[in-house]
């Protein structure tokens, strides 16, 4: 069988993605030869699939082509072109010619097969035979190429059809082990080699006619040959790092599983893990041959090892799902205590080869619930209906109910046996995420707990269950709407500080979306905040608020989702209650929702906290200054606020700090606009409405039912200028400079200064406008854009509390939003 030096065997299997092109063949050959030269005590069996895509092309030929149309078909063209390129790239000219001659000779054989009558005795199933030529071509090519690279020609081609035989059986692809072992022993005794390149997928029927082992049958082939060689190990080389804890395309936090038992791996494979075919295990378990799953494209990684050993370090190994399922529930009083009812049900399904994926039966035997592929629902229903026709007519079976569009979610692990709380944690996680469970099942082995859920909940269920069992860090998904001056600065601050915050609070913070008025970016992984400007400018996706929020929250429970609204848009702020009701958190500097309709404000306040979600809006009043939180703390601890007075506008603070009568007031406003101290239209500041909104918010927080339409507000914009074009406003505003000059001089004559302030007294009377203050008053001695708020209460009566500092600007406003994010993390983590 092998040289004296090499006694044992390793079996390597390479799938189609590992053999897709020239570079892949070179990479695979390096893996084989590196192992061959390093492991000097091992011979190597190399099982190969067809080159990537070839099997599909061959099946299409068997279905669509005739003998006359074969050589003009697009499929023939694609195969012949690709295989010619591979051969010419890898082989010497004479070797390539000989190899390609054999390939085109095979096409002549395919032509002859296509000429045969459908399923004739001499031909068998045409599709089965034709589909297997891809493995012949890849195995021959790899064998010739390896011998080209080897110092001595030690590699041999092994056509598995000569040694692998299937029994005549009702069960598909049953190996005739006795005949296969005899044929195998004869072949390797007569043609010994230290490397065999073996065709995967294909075999021979009991009568010698070619067949195959079905889709993904190359894994099964590799396992069969590992058993025949009595190998030390089977390594399946593929395009992933190994078996993951969940589907990485749906669960971004899926992690590599380093060790699995055979039973765990079989459960995961049956329930949808696509790395291994379920049939792979049966030939290996008796001989305890371990399987390794490794990445052809990153061979240094150790991958996943599957063996008889049980890893005691983790109860749950993987979470997986079967989709497109349906539930059939059969119930009736006639089933109570009647033996044979289940047998009758399953026998009726067996007649149509319908496999049941899950069974749940009430202990009273009043009902049996089964899960089957949805595509077989009608057939199954008719079979059951026929089988129990007498019972249905007599009323013993009262109902056969079908529920469609379902998925089976399963958690798998050997160490669940005897462990308290695993099932409770599983179903509690689904319950907290608002996911209904339609049926459950757990075998006595306790290796698998399954839940039937609605298909629409599959992604969320996978992610939430995975987080519950695998994530050591909770995740906060964040979506930011409005990326202008403040929103952009927030993204810059997040870019520089997120890692520090995550490490400090042991949390994962992921920016899942950003949006402006006409575009948005939605990401599966966390957004790269360092490049947000380029990303949003290149986005062609129109902004859709509902799609945005759904995306940000869809892979996790809403309690892990934060929407940050950095706009001043009233339509967006109107959605806060809806978001809070569904469990999302909200942080915003947008004043509209908190200063507008009083009932809407109260609803937001009621929902925040009580719904399990939080709404923070500290930056609505004085950017990053702790005004709202201070007022809330006073009220929460039993204090009573009597009056609030202050300068609430950084813009108006700047204007009256700078205005000293030497320049016209309109010129001060114009220069402030040019320096970015005002809104694009200065009237938005001069009307006093922004100040009114801020006072309404802080007053409401103090327990006052304030409404802006009752406020006495001094508007610094003359009425006749309110509706003129914004470009004309400043020119026309010059005509009113004398009025402001006169007020300034009157104040100065009395050693007073002008300040635009807002006042709320104990009787809920509000005045907002220009007031005069002594030169030594705190309001008269602020920095350029400072806000200053004075609060008089029971506790702060004779010496009122004063909060002062920058009350405007993107840096301090963004910092205030960031502070709210940290507060949310502290509360929810």
What is the chain's Cα-based Rg?
37
Enumerate residues 6+ apart whose C-beta is below 8 A from 253.
Answer: 463, 466, 467, 470, 471, 475
Read off the pLDDT of residues 710-747 as tens digits, 9 standing for 90 and up: 999 999 999 999 999 988 999 999 999 999 999 999 99
Taking the C-alpha atoms of residue 579 and residue 583, their distance in angstroms, rounded to an integer, is 6
Measuring CA to CA, which residue among 631, 579, 588 is closest to residue 607? 579
Q: What is the mean pLDDT of residues 115-124?
A: 59
Provide CATH code, domain 318-470: 3.30.2130.10
Q: What is the mean pLDDT of residues 809-821?
A: 94
Domain 9-53+141-239 has CATH 3.90.105.20: no
Q: Judge whether residue 337 has pLDDT over 80.
A: no
State the residue for tokens 């609030």.
644
pLDDT of residue 342: 83
Q: Judge whether residue 100 has pLDDT over 70.
A: yes
Element at 510 (helix H, strand E): strand 508-516
The CATH H-level (homologous superfamily) assignment of domain 475-620+818-828 is: NAD(P)-binding Rossmann-like Domain (3.40.50.720)
Q: Which two tokens stand for residue 281?
A: 């295990």
Q: Are 8 and 42 in contact (CB under 8 A)?
A: yes
Q: Which two tokens stand for residue 93?
A: 């000219």
Q: Judge whether residue 632 has pLDDT over 70.
A: yes
Read off the pLDDT of residues 563-611 as tens digits, 9 standing for 90 and up: 999 999 999 999 999 999 988 999 999 999 999 999 999 999 999 977 7
Angle at 341 between CA 339 and CA 346, to 5 degrees: 130
Q: Which residue has the higher pLDDT, 801 or 414?
A: 801
Enumerate residues 6+ apart whose C-beta is below 8 A from 569.
Answer: 482, 590, 592
Q: Judge whether residue 171 has pLDDT over 80.
A: no
Angle at 111 between CA 110 and CA 113, to 5 degrees: 60
Taking the C-alpha atoms of residue 221 and residue 224, their distance in angstroms, rounded to an integer, is 5
Q: Which two tokens stand for residue 413?
A: 């692990």
pLDDT of residue 438: 94
Taking the C-alpha atoms of residue 604 and residue 543, their distance in angstroms, rounded to an integer, is 25
Taking the C-alpha atoms of residue 305 and residue 290, their distance in angstroms, rounded to an integer, is 7
Q: Judge whether residue 555 has pLDDT over 60.
A: no
Q: Sorting pLDDT into bands at 50, 70 and 90, what band is 121?
A: very low
Q: Sorting pLDDT into bands at 50, 70 and 90, what band is 312?
A: low
Q: Return the SS3 of 225.
A: helix
Q: Judge whether residue 445 has pLDDT over 70.
A: no
- The three-state DSSP-derived secondary structure of 275-291 is CCCHHHCHHHHCCCCCE
Q: Which residue has the higher pLDDT, 367 or 509?
A: 509
Q: How many CB atoms lie within 10 A of CB 232?
A: 16
Strands (E), 29-70: 42-48
What are the residue ranges spanned by the domains of the chain? 9-53+141-239, 318-470, 475-620+818-828, 627-807
Q: What is the mean pLDDT of residues 440-458?
A: 86
Q: How many CB atoms lie within 10 A of CB 413?
A: 27
pLDDT of residue 472: 62
Residues shown for the chain: 829
Mean pLDDT of the chain, nearest integer: 91
Read off the pLDDT of residues 471-506 as tens digits, 9 standing for 90 and up: 767 889 999 999 999 999 999 999 999 999 999 998
- The three-state DSSP-derived secondary structure of 651-667 is HHHHHHHHCCCCCCHHH
Tell me, rounded to whole angstroms, the distance of Cα 161 from its chain centroid.
43
Q: Are 181 and 227 in contact (CB under 8 A)?
A: no
Q: Sorting pLDDT into bands at 50, 70 and 90, what band is 123?
A: very low
pLDDT of residue 3: 47
Q: What is the mean pLDDT of residues 27-46?
A: 94
Q: Judge whether residue 173 has pLDDT over 80.
A: no
- Lowest mean pLDDT of 120-129, 379-388, 769-778, name the range: 120-129
Q: What is the mean pLDDT of residues 17-36?
A: 96
Measuring CA to CA, which residue among 557, 596, 556, 551 is closest to residue 576? 596
Q: Return the SS3 of 562.
A: strand
Return phi, psi of residue 98, to 5°: -65, -40
pLDDT of residue 558: 47
Half-sphere exposure of 40 (CA within 13 A, CB side): 1
- Lowest mean pLDDT of 231-235, 497-501, 636-640, name the range: 497-501
Return phi, psi of residue 616, to 5°: -115, 135
Q: What is the mean pLDDT of residues 305-316?
A: 80
Q: Return the SS3 of 639.
A: coil
Class of domain 627-807: alpha beta
Q: Sorting pLDDT into bands at 50, 70 and 90, what band is 1?
A: very low
The catalytic residues are 694
Q: What is the mean pLDDT of residues 56-69?
A: 93
Q: What is the mean pLDDT of residues 279-298?
A: 93
Taking the C-alpha atoms of residue 475 and residue 506, their distance in angstroms, rounded to an integer, is 9
pLDDT of residue 712: 94
State the residue for tokens 């000569």.
162
Q: What global pTM score does this model have? A: 0.64
Four-residue CA torsion sign, 50, 51, 57, 61: negative
30-51: b (≥16 Cβ within 10 Å) or e: ebbbeebeeeeebbbbbbbbbb
Q: Sorting pLDDT into bands at 50, 70 and 90, what band is 560?
A: confident
Q: Sorting pLDDT into bands at 50, 70 and 90, what band is 364?
A: low
Q: How many CB atoms lie within 10 A of CB 710?
A: 10
């Amino acid at each position: 069988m092998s040289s004296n030096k090499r006694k044992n065997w390793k079996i390597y299997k390479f799938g189609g993605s590992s053999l897709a092109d020239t570079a892949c063949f070179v990479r695979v050959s390096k893996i084989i030869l590196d192992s061959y030269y390093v492991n000097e005590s091992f011979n190597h069996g190399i099982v190969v699939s067809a080159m990537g895509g070839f099997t599909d092309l061959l099946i299409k030929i068997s279905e669509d082509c005739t003998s006359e149309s074969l050589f003009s078909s697009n499929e023939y063209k694609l195969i012949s072109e690709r295989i010619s390129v591979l051969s010419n790239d890898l082989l010497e000219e004479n070797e390539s010619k000989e190899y390609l001659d054999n390939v085109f000779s095979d096409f002549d054989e395919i032509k002859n097969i296509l000429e045969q009558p459908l399923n004739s005795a001499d031909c068998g199933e045409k599709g089965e035979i034709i589909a297997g030529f891809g493995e012949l071509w890849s195995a021959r090519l790899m064998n010739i190429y390896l011998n080209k690279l080897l110092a001595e020609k030690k590699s041999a081609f092994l056509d598995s059809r000569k040694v692998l035989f299937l029994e005549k059986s009702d069960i598909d692809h049953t190996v005739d082990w006795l005949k296969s072992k005899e044929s195998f022993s004869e072949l390797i005794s007569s043609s010994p080699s230290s490397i065999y390149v073996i065709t995967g997928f294909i075999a021979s029927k009991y009568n010698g006619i070619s067949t195959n082992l079905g889709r993904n049958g190359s894994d099964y082939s590799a396992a069969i040959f590992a058993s025949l060689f009595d190998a030390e190990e089977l390594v399946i080389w593929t395009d992933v790092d190994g078996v993951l804890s969940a589907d990485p395309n749906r669960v971004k936090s899926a992690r590599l599983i380093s060790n699995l038992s055979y039973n765990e791996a079989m459960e995961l494979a049956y329930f949808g893990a696509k790395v291994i075919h379920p049939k792979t295990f049966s030939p290996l378990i008796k001989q305890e041959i371990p399987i390794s799953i490794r990445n052809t494209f990153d061979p240094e990684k150790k991958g996943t090892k599957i063996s008889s050993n049980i890893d005691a370090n983790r109860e749950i190994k993987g979470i997986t799902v079967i989709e497109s399922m349906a539930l059939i529930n059969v119930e009736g009083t006639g089933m109570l205590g009647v033996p044979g009812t289940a047998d009758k049900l399953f026998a009726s399904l067996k007649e149509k080869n319908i496999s049941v994926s899950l069974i749940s039966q009430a202990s009273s035997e009043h009902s049996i619930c089964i899960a089957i592929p949805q595509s077989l629902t009608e057939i199954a229903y008719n079979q059951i209906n026929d089988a129990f026709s007498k019972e249905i007519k007599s009323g013993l079976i009262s109902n056969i109910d079908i529920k469609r569009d379902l998925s089976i979610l399963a958690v798998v692990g050997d160490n669940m046996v005897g462990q308290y709380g695993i099932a409770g944690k599983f179903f509690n996680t689904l319950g907290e995420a608002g996911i209904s469970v339609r049926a459950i099942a757990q075998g006595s082995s306790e290796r698998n707990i399954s839940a039937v859920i609605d298909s629409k909940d599959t992604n969320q269920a996978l992610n939430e269950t995975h987080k519950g069992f695998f994530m050591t860090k909770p995740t906060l998904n964040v979506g930011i709407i409005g990326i202008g001056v403040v929103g952009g600065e927030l993204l810059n601050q997040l870019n520089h500080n997120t890692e520090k915050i995550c490490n400090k609070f042991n949390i994962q913070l992921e920016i899942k979306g950003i949006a402006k008025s006409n575009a948005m970016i939605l990401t599966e992984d966390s957004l790269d905040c360092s490049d947000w400007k380029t990303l949003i400018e290149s986005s062609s996706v129109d902004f859709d608020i509902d799609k945005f929020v759904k995306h940000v929250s869809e892979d996790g429970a809403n309690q892990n989702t934060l929407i940050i609204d950095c706009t001043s848009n009233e339509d967006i702020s109107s959605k806060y209650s809806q978001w809070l009701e569904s469990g999302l958190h909200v942080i915003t500097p947008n004043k509209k929702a908190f200063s507008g309709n009083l009932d809407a404000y109260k609803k937001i306040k009621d929902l925040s906290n009580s719904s399990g979600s939080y709404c923070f809006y500290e930056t609505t009043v004085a950017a990053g200054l702790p005004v709202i939180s201070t007022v809330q703390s006073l009220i929460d601890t039993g204090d009573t606020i009597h009056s609030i007075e202050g300068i609430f506008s950084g813009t108006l603070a700047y204007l009256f700090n700078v205005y000293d009568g030497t320049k016209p007031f309109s010129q001060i406003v114009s220069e402030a606009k040019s320096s970015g101290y005002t809104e694009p239209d200065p009237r938005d500041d001069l009307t006093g409405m922004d100040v009114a909104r801020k006072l309404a918010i802080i007053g409401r927080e103090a327990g006052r039912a304030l409404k802006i339409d009752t406020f006495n507000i001094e508007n610094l914009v003359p009425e006749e200028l309110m509706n003129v074009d914004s470009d004309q406003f400043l020119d026309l505003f010059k005509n009113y400079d004398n009025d402001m000059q006169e007020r300034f001089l009157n104040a100065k004559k009395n050693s007073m200064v002008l300040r635009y302030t807002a006042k709320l007294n104990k009787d809920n009377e509000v005045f907002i406008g220009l007031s005069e203050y002594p030169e030594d008053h705190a309001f008269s001695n602020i920095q350029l854009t400072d806000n200053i708020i004075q609060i008089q209460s029971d506790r702060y009566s004779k010496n009122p509390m004063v909060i002062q500092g920058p009350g405007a600007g993107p840096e301090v406003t963004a910092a205030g939003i960031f502070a709210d994010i940290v507060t949310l993390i502290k509360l929810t983590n």
